[in-house]
Amino acid sequence: MVIRGAEVLCEDYRFRQKDVGMEDGIFVENGRGTVEDASGCYAVPGLVDVHFHGCVGEDISDGSAEGLARMARYEAGRGITTIVPAVMTLPAPRLMEICDMAASFSGEEGAVFAGIHLEGPYLSGKKKGAQNGAFLQKPDAEQMGRFFEAAGGMLRIMTIAPELEGAEEVIRAFSPVCGMSIGHTDCDYETARQAFRWGADGVTHLFNAMNGLHHREPGAAAAALEDSRCMAEMICDGIHAHPAVVKLAYRLLTAERMVLISDSMRAAGMPDGIYTLGGQDVEVRGKHAFLKGTETLAGSASDLMDCVRTAVEEVGLDLASAIRCASENPARRARIFDQCGSITPGKRADLVLLDRQLKVRAVYVRGKKQKIWEDNQQTRL
């Protein structure tokens, strides 16, 4: 297959009009066969979301393979072609069951399931946010080993509060094989810097669930912004972080270290109402999701493509940089950039065509065209 006529986002992150070839599920130098006219569109690599909980009424924390398959179909229909869903803090036996499910999942439709992100249970009670405090634990390297083994190589990222007893051992032991991200943390600047020296290489939703920047107490946010080893997640939905803050963070992180995430929960792709997240009720109103009866933000109702549009339209990022932050960078974060995240011959043929208003016009996963999920569509997948 050949995609012809589009402005293609090349590996140097410049747009050029060129053909894109796809054969046997991968990108190739010279495609053959069917020619698809993409005139007037941008051709960009499929997005990679390494931190979202759910969508279309489903959540990875449910531990349902059928639910995960529905999530994959929805995400693909929105231009997110690779997913690493985040599991909430739950009892250890339940986490083991989800790890087992991740190891055995063999979805063949929709976005490619590349593994899971454990957002807990090794988090600070002071900065737990929407996590269930009843199930928080001290970091335990032996238990972490059991999670890792049960997931069968599908545990891609672990969020941990570095100030907790046992955190150093876990970070040192598992950073060679799993992305270690500091988050939901009450740690100070020096502790965060130390965590990066131990081997942590990321931060979970920068500015959210951590101490804010202060000129005498800079906190984990400052350590993450200044350390070249750290890739920083940002929820760019216009709610979790003001566009001005995202812009300031981008100037320090640049397009090399910012990782756009959605942090979406099961309400994404669904009408307003009451939903659950980690066993707690969440009230969703438009893009806003709060723990019921509180003003505590509880994930997002926006998907990653929505966040890209916000990054371009409200933050002011150029499209090439916004796509890089939502494709290459998360793929690097999950250590799968050799498979996806750019339009490169030999990589999986995951491609999105966007019109000039950044509306998704076509999505290909492994070279196979996907069904588009329209805004406000409520049809079950």
Residues known to be catalytic: 263
| Spatial distance between the Cα atoms of 185 and 129, rounded to a whole number of angstroms | 10
Contact 117, 178 (CB under 8 A): no
Task: Determine how β-strand 360-365 pairs with β-strand 368-369.
Answer: antiparallel
* Helix ranges, 124-218 (H): 141-151, 167-174, 189-198
69: which 2 tokens? 């398959």
- In the three-class reduction of DSSP (H, G, I as helix; E, B as strand; rest coil), residue 157 is classed as strand
The CA dihedral of 371, 365, 109, 97, to the nearest 10 degrees, is -130
Tokens of 366: 């492994």
Residues 333, 335: Cα–Cα separation, whole Å: 5
Neighbours of 141 (CB within 10 A): 15
Decide if 170 contacts 145 (C-beta within 8 A).
no
Is 142 buried (19+), middle (13-18) or exposed (0-12) by CB count in 10 A?
exposed
Residue 322: alpha-carbon gap to chain centroid: 14
Residue 329 corresponds to which tokens in the numbers above?
Answer: 């960078």
Cβ pair 155, 171 in contact under 8 A: no
Six-digit token pair at 153? 């190589």
State the CB neighbour count (10 A cutoff) for residue 199: 17
**Intra-chain end-to-end CA distance of the chain, in Å:** 27
